[in-house]
A and B are shown apart, each in its own frame.
Chain A
Amino acid sequence: MPEEIVNTQAQNPKEDEPRIGVYVCNCGGNIGDVVKCEHVARTLERLPNVVVSRDNMFMCSDPGQKMIADDIKEKGVNRVVIGACSIFLHEQTFRRTLERAGLNPYLYYHIGLREQVSWVHHGTPKEATEKSIRMMAAGIAKARNMKPLEPVRLPAHRQALVIGGGVAGLRSALDLARRGLKVTLVEKSHYLGGHMAQWERVFPTNEEARPLLKRLIDQVLAEPNITIHTGAEVIGAKGYVGNYNVTIRQTPRGVRETFPNEQEAIDVCPIKRRKRFDFGLSTSKAIYRTYTGCVPESLVIDWETCTKCGECVKVAPEGMINLDEEAQEFTVDVGAVVLATGFQPYEPFYGEMGWKEFPEVITLPQLHRLLDDEGPTQGKFWWNGHPVKNVAIIHCVGSRQVEGVHRAQPDGNVNNYCSRVCCTASLSMASLIRQKAPDAKIYEVFEDIRAYGRGHEDYYTRASKNNVTFLRYFAEEIPEVRRADEKAEHPLLVKVRDHLTWGEEIEIPVDLVVLSVGMMPNPVQDLMEIFKVTPGSDRFLLEVHPKLRPVETAVNGVVLAGTAQGPMNIQESCAAASAAASKVSALIEQAKVELEPYVARVDPDKCQGSGECVKVCPQEEAIELKTFSENGNTFQRAVVTPANCNGCGVCVSACPNRAIDVQGWRLDEYEAMVSAIAADIPAWEGAA
């Protein structure tokens, strides 16, 4: 583990006597239309230690920030209290303002007057104004007690871990490596590329998916900074940003490398299994190759179905196949982690639009495999041994679900989000079907067409010109799929109330129904627990802020890439992956990280060495009792290791002598805030 560098509470005598600047932002009317900002500012200027109290239309604007900086320089302001929009939006902006003006950036407190006052008390402006005064007074009370702080600076491993080897993980790994960082890429399956490898061709360029993917994989393979582990999963991690020690378990492949008589080894295998790569549309042996040209290329054993009969071993060159290989565990030290664990297609419930009830109902991912030249029908648009003449593609299955109409997932929530890619993916498949089966009748049964990206709308136009029939349903009345009469030419009927023809009920006879299923996150509960990241209500991994910090999680050093975070197409997945790589490299490329200084700090004058803090501390090696001697007396005092302390504060409430606090969030500051909110407030004479 690298050695710790520094964490000290900064000392600056000039900052000891509080001279508080108070700033109330109108937020262009977002706050000012409800809260009388001038009244708030005028009232607060009468409080002790306040040397200046102002309101402004936009505190975050350049003139707003300059006003604060000028007050620091010219009026000796040494504590700043700002009432504005959410703390999560502009905390960093204002910290930098203080820094530029030469003041310690932690001598600032922020109150979210917009999200927590004006936007929630529209109808009660008088009370909202009074509440703002009290909240700002609390900030002033805290500011009086604030001490300058310095960030915790830690050495960091210049190495990143990327979890997931889909297009997002590959892109992230490559970007990181090209910035000179070492990268460990961990992929759960035995091949690289994720879902992109399963698609025939991809919008918006119509390129064949696998050759396109191969270009990226080749670049990754050529990068000496990247180490790849397939068949591998993260099973544990210790540490914190800059210094994660991650345990990885790798399932053996069973086959060392490619060999000439591979087909013979496959042929002698007595086991048949459903091929996951083809979404169950075909079978393979227990020794198989995922697809021609996959990386790694060698065959792999499916341990779930392999009986270890040894037939393949007999025909393969000696030592080539090892059925007794055991899983291996090893650790890597990394400074940051990219979660690129991707998505899984929505799995309809039994009977949902005929799913599993009728064999002629498949999903869009299965259609991709069906139309693939290397798929189960070698690309022929055939089903059940016959060419498909009529096909209906039903949109929004498992997406944009409505509570009460659709069946909820086990967590009780329906998938109310749009999966974004399925519309264009369905339209592009309609074009491909038209190419392969020029006479087929193609029906797109949709709720709304959301072909939102550059070039996506062209697919809609092309499909319309290509005699694709569009029928529009509404979510409250989803299409029904049922079996046609035995003698009917087409085995299924799709009943839909079509709102393009004024609600007419139409029954379409079809040979095949394709459910355009949405995206759900891959289940990564274990990783969420290991890295303490949280999901959103849609179960995808959650970013800190969807607009301002879109790829960072609430955990320092853990970032998101691609569809682990939400439905995205390849372009968006790669953009997010590159953003994640930038965040990681900015964080660790200097071989050190700076963390917020919010860690426990012991007051040696108050500490009696009771050891209660050590007993309750849940972190490893964050606090210990050390023996000191002074004037011949030996005594014990608690000592914090800032790098190992995460500021959980469990020690604060446990200390019988109030000798320990979390810097920046001290108990005495809260006591002062509570008193200030409860206290009477001096009136401003100018009040209306």
Chain B
Amino acid sequence: MTTETPQKGKILLLATLSGGYRGADMVGQGHMDYPPNTYILPVMSSAIFPPKFYIDAFEKGFDAITVMYSGTDSPYKGESEKTAEIINETYEKMKELNLDLRRLRLAAICTVCVRPFLEEVQRAESLLEEIGPLPRPLAKQGVAANVN
């Protein structure tokens, strides 16, 4: 096994190719540092993920997820509304599992949103510092309720 550096937990950033993913590239082009426990996956559209996808990702090992979608700037009609709807549904499922709702966040990040990108990463980092990684498996454990 590679030795894993002790970390606060893993953060998954689902970033749209027309928004947050380019924003992340801009942060890179500016050589601005942020912690390496962040894993960015490019997505065409944030609307494809059903609630189960998020719950499974928490179960598999992610401790915080931020969906960096394009918000009202999305090139896809209906994407932002549908994504918001799914996130709300996911919150309901998270409540059932006693998961802190702050672990899942929806943030509009544009192609040049350097500062907002870094702020989102920082927000997730601070959250994990505060509440720590998720104990697993989720359902059996009954994770401490800290629902906002």
A contact set with B: CB distance below 8 Å:
43, 86-88, 112, 114-117, 119-124, 126-128, 130-131, 133-135, 138, 532, 534, 536-537, 542, 554-555, 598, 616, 618-619, 646-650, 652-654, 661-662, 664-665, 667, 670-671, 673-675, 677-683, 687
Neighbour of B112 across the interface among A537, A671, A679, A681, CB < 8 A: A537
Q: Measured between alpha carbons, how far is A677 from B40 in the docked complex, in Å? A: 10
What CA separation (Å) do A554 and B19 show in the bound complex? 10
Task: Name B85's closest neighbour in chain A (CB-CB).
Answer: A653
User: Given the interface contacts A116-B25, A119-B28, does A649 sit within 8 Å of B5 by beta carbon?
Assistant: no
Query: A665 near B39 (CB under 8 angstroms)?
Result: no
Determine whether the beta carbon of A653 is less than 8 Å from that of B50.
Answer: yes
Which of B18, B27, B37, B77 has its CB near the most chain A CB atoms (within 10 A)?
B77
Taking CB atoms, residues of chain B closer than 8 Å to A542 are 111-112
Which single member of A115, A119, A648 contacts B45 (CB below 8 Å)? Answer: A648
Bound CA span A526–B10, Å: 41
A648 touching B39 in the complex, CB below 8 Å, given contacts A130-B4, A678-B10: no
What 0/1 readout, one digit per residue, does chain B (118-148) give for beta carbons within 8 Å of chain A?
0000000000000000000000000000000
A649 B75 Cβ-Cβ under 8 A: no
Contact A618 B77 (CB under 8 A): yes
Report the bound CA distance from A2 to B112 in whole Å.
Answer: 37
Q: CB-CB < 8 A to A671: which residues of B?
A: 53, 56
Q: Contacts A126-B5, A648-B76: A678 and B36 contacting too (C-beta < 8 A)?
A: no
Q: How far is the CA of A677 from the CA of B24 in the complex (A)?
A: 18
B68 on interface, CB distance cutoff 8 Å: no
Q: Does A648 contact B79, Cβ atoms closer than 8 Å?
A: yes
Closest to A545 in B: B22
A-B contacts, 17 listed (Cβ < 8 Å)? A87-B42, A115-B24, A119-B28, A122-B31, A127-B5, A138-B41, A534-B73, A542-B112, A616-B78, A648-B47, A648-B76, A653-B82, A653-B86, A662-B48, A673-B41, A677-B39, A679-B61
Hey, which chain A residues are within 8 Å of B24, CB to CB? 115-116
**A127 with B36: CB separation less than 8 A:** yes
Complex contacts, A653 vs chain B, CB 8 Å: 47-50, 82, 86
With A649-B44, A653-B48, A670-B53 as contacts: A120 and B33 at CB distance below 8 Å: yes
Complex-state Cα separation, A87 to B24, whole angstroms = 12
Pairs A-B, 7 closest by C-beta atoms: A115-B28, A678-B61, A618-B78, A648-B76, A649-B48, A649-B45, A127-B36
> Given the complex of chains A and B, what is the CA–CA distance between A239 and B31 in angstroms?
40
By a CB distance below 8 angstroms, the chain B residues around A681 are 1-2
CB of B109 closer than 8 Å to a CB of A: no
Closest chain B CB from A638 CB (angstroms): 16
Q: How far is the CB of B57 from chain A (nearest CB, A)?
A: 5
State the CA gap A138–B42 with chains docked (Å): 12
Q: Knowing that A542-B111, A667-B48, A677-B10 are A-B contacts, what are 20 other residue pairs whose CB atoms are under 8 Å apart, sorted by A's residue number?
A: A88-B22, A112-B25, A112-B28, A115-B24, A124-B36, A126-B5, A131-B39, A534-B73, A616-B78, A618-B78, A647-B44, A647-B76, A649-B48, A662-B45, A671-B53, A671-B56, A674-B62, A675-B60, A677-B61, A681-B1
A123 and B33 within 8 A (CB):
yes
Min Cβ gap A86→B in Å is 5
Q: Which residues of B contact A134 (CB under 8 A)?
A: 39
Count of inter-chain pairs, beta carbons less than 8 A: 153
Is there an interface contact between B60 and A678, defined as CB atoms closer than 8 Å?
A: yes
List CB contacts (< 8 Å) of B90-104 with chain A: none
Contact A650 B50 (CB under 8 A): no
- The answer to whether A534 touches B110, judged by C-beta atoms less than 8 angstroms apart, is yes
Interface presence of B43 (CB below 8 A): yes
Task: Return chain B residues, CB-CB under 8 Å to A124.
Answer: 35-36
Q: How far is the CB of A149 from chain B (nearest CB, A)?
A: 13
Contacts of B34 in A (CB 8 A): 120-121
Check A598 against B44 for contact (C-beta < 8 Å). Answer: yes
A652 to B78, CA, bound (A): 13
A674 touches B78 (CB 8 A): no
Distance of B40 from chain A, by nearest CB (Å): 5
Contacts of B75 in A (CB 8 A): 532, 554-555, 646
The answer for the CA separation of A127 and B35 in the assembled complex, in Å, is 9
- Shortest distance in angstroms between B59's beta carbon and chain A's nearest beta carbon? 9
Q: Give the chain B neighbours of A598 by CB distance below 8 A.
A: 44
With a cutoff of 8 Å between Cβ atoms, the chain A residues found around residue B42 in the complex are 87
Residues of B within 8 A of A116 (CB): 24-25, 28, 40
* Docked CA distance A124–B27 (Å): 17
Q: Assuming A127-B36, A537-B112, A542-B111, is B60 touching A674 (CB within 8 A)?
A: yes
Given contacts A121-B33, A534-B73, A674-B56, contact A650 B41 (CB under 8 A): no
Complex Cα distance, B29 from A112, in Å, reads: 12
Name the CB-closest residue of B to A665: B44
Given known contacts A124-B36, A134-B39, A616 and B82 CB-to-CB distance under 8 angstroms:
yes
Q: Which of B2, B22, B57, B76 has a CB less than 8 Å from the CB of A130? A: B2
Is B108 interfacial (CB 8 A cutoff)?
no
* A120, B27: Cβ atoms closer than 8 Å: yes
Question: Known: A122-B33, A662-B45, A670-B53. Is A683-B2 also a contact (CB below 8 A)?
Answer: yes
B79 touches A649 (CB 8 A): yes
Chain A: minimal CB distance from B140 (Å): 18
Check if B44 sits within 8 Å of A534, measured CB to CB. Answer: no
Q: What is the CB-to-nearest-CB distance from B138 to chain A, in angstroms, rounded to a whole number?
A: 13
Could you tell me if A43 and B2 are in contact, using CB atoms closer than 8 angstroms? yes
Q: Which residues of the other chain, B, contact A647 by a CB distance below 8 angstroms? A: 44-45, 76
User: Could you tell me the distance between the alpha carbons of A652 and B46 in the complex, rounded to whole angstroms?
Assistant: 10
Would you call A652 and B47 a contact (CB within 8 A)? yes
Hey, which chain B residues are within 8 Å of A127, CB to CB?
5, 36-37
B4: min CB distance to chain A, Å: 7
Asked whether B12 is an interface residue with its Cβ less than 8 Å from the other chain, the reply is yes
Q: Are A119 and B112 in contact (CB under 8 A)?
A: no
Contact A680 B1 (CB under 8 A): yes
Residue of B at shortest CB range from A113? B28
State A680–B4 Cα separation when bound (angstroms).
Answer: 9
Give chain A residues whose Cβ lies under 8 Å from the Cβ of B35. Answer: 121, 124
